[in-house]
Amino acid sequence: MRVILASGSPRRKELLKLVVPEFEVIVSNVEETLKEGLTPEEQVKRLSYIKAKDVFDKTEGDRIVIGSDTMVAKNDQIYGKPKNKEHAKEMIKELINGDKTHKVITGLSVLVQENEQYKEHITYDEVIVHLKDISEEEIDEWINTGHAMDKAAAYSIQDEFCVFIEKIEGNFTTVVGLPTHKLYDIIKE
Q: Which residue numbers are catalytic?
A: 69
What CA–CA distances, in Å, run from 21 to 13, 66, 109, 133? 10, 14, 19, 39
* DSSP reduced 3-state for 4: strand
DSSP 105-129: EEEEEEEEEETTEEEEEEEEEEEEE
End-to-end CA distance of the chain: 14
Could you tell me which residues come within 8 angstroms of residue 46 by beta carbon, excluding any fewer than 6 positions away?
A: 35, 38, 107
Cβ–Cβ < 8 Å for 79, 17: no
